[in-house]
């Protein structure tokens, strides 16, 4: 087995300013969350004028698309060297597009982590899937991230005909190929992720099988390249980042060099609490909740006071999320506060209130907050 690198300290405290959203005046329009989701907090980064922006710079979008749970958010965090997107072992964790900014040398890459692509029936699911495809459509480079561990474990060792490629994965591959063949300019990498979960001697079989599926789905014809990687342990990630960088077109940077994301702090804070709720709550319940930051205040002593509503659809769900004597919500709050303090580099006072809001999945405001299309 290859010796895999240890996972990075994804939660090492970033420089605080990196989390602030400070768009420069743009040559092209960056996809952004709706105005309503922007915080009113001032940015500590003085927005440089265009005259200060280095010339001969490169800037573009790289979309990470793929089925649910394939490791897109893990890859984004790895590319940025710290945690931005929430990661859980459950499917459909990412609800909206999350932009992570990687600026080095003369190039700024705006990585777009997207919701997983899966057969969508509900309004929320349709909006999530649409958001993923929209990100791919605006990208200069597309990475299809797929989970080879699933493929490997569902198949039988050393019999490549039995290595099952899930239907969702094939669908994504075929659709990206079709767009490229029809003239979409973005170059494509097929990132075969979680290769650490496949014994080294078995990897050639996985690779061979992947090529066969690329042929079948049209990705070979579309010029896509296969890239084996482990987002969790970092293998192949630097090579992937270099490939992306080289595909960015010439243009001014869209964000200051030090920024890490365009995500407003209110949304970032809600995402952290949502991740903890996903981890603490069992089965389907995490999918039934939404978290809304209702206030976010920098206090005079340097700490931050955040209040959030945890929205559930029914009274019975409220009881479970609250727990006996408030034990469950306290656990979620404690975990979220701990992480927010690390991420924001300050003491955080987090107040969570569980509320029943029957139809939050039909509430247009929620979708606007996440930058999703209510009418998808
Ligand atoms: N073994 C292994 N596990 C990984 C790797 N990358 C991600 N995972 C795990 O896979 C699970 C899903 O990872 P995410 O990054 O949340 O996947 P995602 O594609 O963003 O998921 P959605 O939000 O559902 O679309 C988590 O438990 C990760 O720790 C990898 O390279 N190797």
Q: Both 168 and 315 in a single domain?
A: no
Bridge partners for 146 per DSSP: 192
Of the pLDDT bands very low, low, confident and very high (cuts 50, 70, 90), residue 38 is very low
The boundaries of the domain holding residue 350 are 265-370
371 lines ligand 1 (CB under 6 A): no
Asked, for residue 355, whether it belongs to a domain, the answer is yes
Q: Is the confidence at residue 15, as pLDDT, over 50?
A: no
Contact 217/177 with Cβ under 8 angstroms?
yes
Residue 198: pLDDT over 50: yes
CA atoms within 13 A on the CB side of 43: 20
Q: Say whether both 160 and 229 belong to one domain.
A: yes
Task: Please give the distance, rounded to the nearest whole angstrom, from the Cα atom of residue 342 to the centre of ligand 1.
Answer: 22
From CA 289, how far away is CA 61, in angstroms rounded?
A: 31
Ligand 1 within 6 A of CB of 70? yes
* Residue minimizing CA distance to atom 13 of ligand 1: 71
Number of alpha carbons in the 13 Å side-chain half-sphere of residue 277? 31
- Predicted confidence band at 363 (pLDDT cuts at 50, 70, 90)? confident
The DSSP code for 325 is: G
**Domain-terminating residue out of 212, 246, 280:** 246
Total number of domains constituting the chain: 2
Q: 88 CA to middle of ligand 1, Å?
A: 7
Q: Which of 246, 276, 309 is the last residue of a domain?
A: 246
Which pLDDT does position 16 carry in this prediction? 34
275: domain CATH number is 3.30.300.20
- Are 273 and 241 contained in the same domain? no
**10 Å Cβ neighbour count for 239?**
12
Residues 62 and 161 in one domain: yes
* Contact present, 218 and 174 (Cβ < 8 Å): yes
Q: Is the pLDDT of residue 25 over 50?
A: no
- Tell me, yes or no, whether 259 lies in a domain: no
User: pLDDT band for position 12 (50/70/90)?
Assistant: very low
Together in a domain, 298 and 333: yes
Q: Is the CB of 72 under 6 A from ligand 1?
A: yes
Report the chain's C-alpha Rg in angstroms. 21
Choose the residue to mutate in 71, 91, 233 for probing ligand 1, maximizing ligand atoms within 8 Å of C-beta. Answer: 71
The partner residues of 141 in beta bridges, in order of sequence, read 62, 187
Q: Return the residue whose CA atom lies nearest to atom 24 of ligand 1.
A: 92
Query: Is 271 found in the same domain as 193?
Result: no
Q: What is the pLDDT of residue 353?
A: 96
CB atoms inside a 10 Å sphere around CB 40: 7
Alpha carbons 128 and 134: distance in angstroms, whole number: 10
Q: What angle is formed at CA 183 by the lines to CA 180 and CA 188, rounded to 5 degrees?
A: 25
Is 235 a pocket residue for ligand 1 (Cβ < 6 Å)? no
In a domain, 85, yes or no: yes
Verify whether ligand 1 is closer than 6 Å to residue 41 (CB atom).
no
The answer to whether residues 237 and 277 belong to one domain is no
Q: Domain check: are 362 and 223 in the same one? A: no
Task: Name the percent of the chain lying above pLDDT 90.
Answer: 42
Most confident of 2-11, 102-111, 172-181, 284-293: 102-111
Q: Are residues 137 and 217 in the same domain?
A: yes
DSSP codes joined into one string, 179-230? HHHTT---EEEEEEE-GGGS-GGGHHHHHHHHHHHHHHHTTTTTT-EEEE--
Question: Within a domain: residue 36?
Answer: no
77 lines ligand 1 (CB under 6 A): no
Would you say the CB of residue 193 lies under 6 angstroms from ligand 1? yes
Q: Quick check: 21 pLDDT over 50? A: no
Q: What is the DSSP string of 107-166?
A: EEEEEEE-PPB----SHHHHHHHHHHHHHHHT-SEEEEEEEHHHHHHHSBTTBGGG-PPP
Rounded distance from Cα 44 to ligand 1 centre (Å): 33
pTM for this entry:
0.79
Q: From the CB of 68, is ligand 1 less than 6 Å away?
A: yes
Alpha-carbon gap, residue 176 to 178, rounded angstroms:
5
The answer to whether the CB of 94 is under 6 A from ligand 1 is yes
Q: Which helix (H) or strand (E) holds 370?
A: helix 364-370
Alpha carbon distance 16, 306 (integer Å): 16
Residue having the nearest C-alpha atom to atom 1 of ligand 1: 194
Once rounded to an integer, what is the mean pLDDT over residues 108-121?
83
- Which among 1, 2, 69, 193 is the best mutation to test ligand 1's pocket, defined by most ligand atoms within 8 Å of the CB? 69
Residues 299 and 359 in one domain: yes
Please give the helix or strand (H or E) that residue 353 lies within, else none.
Answer: strand 348-356
Judge if 62 and 199 occupy the same domain. yes
In a domain, residue 269? The reply is: yes
- Select from 246, 280, 311 the last residue of a domain: 246
Q: Is residue 328 part of a domain?
A: yes
Asked if the model's pLDDT at residue 39 lies above 70, the reply is no
pLDDT over 70 for what percent of the chain?
Answer: 82
Asked whether residue 17 is assigned to any structural domain, the reply reads no
- Residue with CA nearest ligand 1 atom 10: 71
Edge to edge, the sheet with strand 290-298 lists 290-298, 304-312, 348-356
Residue 331 lies in a domain: yes
For the segment 323-339, the average pLDDT, to the nearest whole number, is 95
Q: Could you tell me which residues come within 8 angstroms of residue 340 by beta carbon, excluding any fewer than 6 positions away? A: 269, 272, 304, 306, 348, 350
Say if residue 157 is in the same domain as residue 303: no
- Between the CA of 232 and the centroid of ligand 1 the distance, in Å, is 8
């Amino acid at each position: 087995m290859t010796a895999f690198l240890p996972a990075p300290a994804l939660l090492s405290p970033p420089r605080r300013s990196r989390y602030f959203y400070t768009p420069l005046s743009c040559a092209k329009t960056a996809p952004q969350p709706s105005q309503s989701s922007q915080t009113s907090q001032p940015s500590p980064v003085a927005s440089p004028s265009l005259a200060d922006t280095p010339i001969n710079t490169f800037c573009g979008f790289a979309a990470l698309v793929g089925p649910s749970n394939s490791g897109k958010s893990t890859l984004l965090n790895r590319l940025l060297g710290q945690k931005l997107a929430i990661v859980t072992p459950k499917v459909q964790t990412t609800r909206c597009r999350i932009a992570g900014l990687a600026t080095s040398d003369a190039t700024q890459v705006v990585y777009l982590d997207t919701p997983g692509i899966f057969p969508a029936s509900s309004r929320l699911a349709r909006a999530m899937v649409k958001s993923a495809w929209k990100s791919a459509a605006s990208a200069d480079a597309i990475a299809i991230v797929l989970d080879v561990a699933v493929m490997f474990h569902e198949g039988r060792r050393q019999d490549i005909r039995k290595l099952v490629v899930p239907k969702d994965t094939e669908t994504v591959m075929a659709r990206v190929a079709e767009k490229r063949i029809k003239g979409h300019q973005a170059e494509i990498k097929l990132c075969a992720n979680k290769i650490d979960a496949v014994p080294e001697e078995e990897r050639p079989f996985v690779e061979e099988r992947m090529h066969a599926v690329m042929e079948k789905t049209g990705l070979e014809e579309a010029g896509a390249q296969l890239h084996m990687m482990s987002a969790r342990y970092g293998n192949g990630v630097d090579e992937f980042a270099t490939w992306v960088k080289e595909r960015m077109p010439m243009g001014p940077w869209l964000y200051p060099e030090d920024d890490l994301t365009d995500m407003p702090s209110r949304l970032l804070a809600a995402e952290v609490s949502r991740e903890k709720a996903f981890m603490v709550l069992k089965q389907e319940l995490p999918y039934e909740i939404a978290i809304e930051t209702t206030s976010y205040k920098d206090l005079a002593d340097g700490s931050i006071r955040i209040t959030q509503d945890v929205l559930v659809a029914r009274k019975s769900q409220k009881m479970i999320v609250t727990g006996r004597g408030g034990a469950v919500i306290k656990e979620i709050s404690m975990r979220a506060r701990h992480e927010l303090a690390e991420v924001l580099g300050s003491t955080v006072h987090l107040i969570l209130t569980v509320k029943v809001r029957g139809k939050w999945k039909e509430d247009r405001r929620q979708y606007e907050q996440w930058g999703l299309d209510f009418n998808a």
